[in-house]
Amino acid sequence: LATLGDSPTGSRRMTDLADGVVYSRSGLTYQAQTLEKRRLVTRTPSSDDERGITVTLTDEGRALLAQVFPGHIAVLDDLLFAALSRTDIETLADILTRTRDHMRQTPPRSAEPRRRKKTTETDHTP
Name residues of the chain where pLDDT drops below 50.
116, 119, 125-126
Sign (positive or negative) of CA dihedral 93, 99, 105, 107:
negative
pTM value is 0.67
Predicted pLDDT of residue 112: 56
Q: Tell me the CA distances in angstroms from 124 to 47, 76, 114, 115, 118, one per residue in order.
A: 42, 57, 21, 19, 11
* Residue 20, pLDDT score: 74
Q: Indicate the helix (H) or strand (E) that contains 121.
A: none
The pLDDT value given to residue 68: 94
- The domain 2-108 is classified under which CATH number: 3.30.420.40, 3.90.1150.10, 1.10.10.10, 3.30.70.3270? 1.10.10.10
- Distance CA(81)–CA(24), nearest Å, equals 29
The 10s digit of each residue's pLDDT in 25-44 is 788 889 999 999 999 999 99
How far separated are the first and last CA of the chain, in Å rounded? 51
Q: How many CA atoms lie within 13 A of 7 on its CB side?
A: 18
DSSP string, 69-97: HHHHHHHHIIIIITTS-HHHHHHHHHHHH
Domain range list for the chain: 2-108
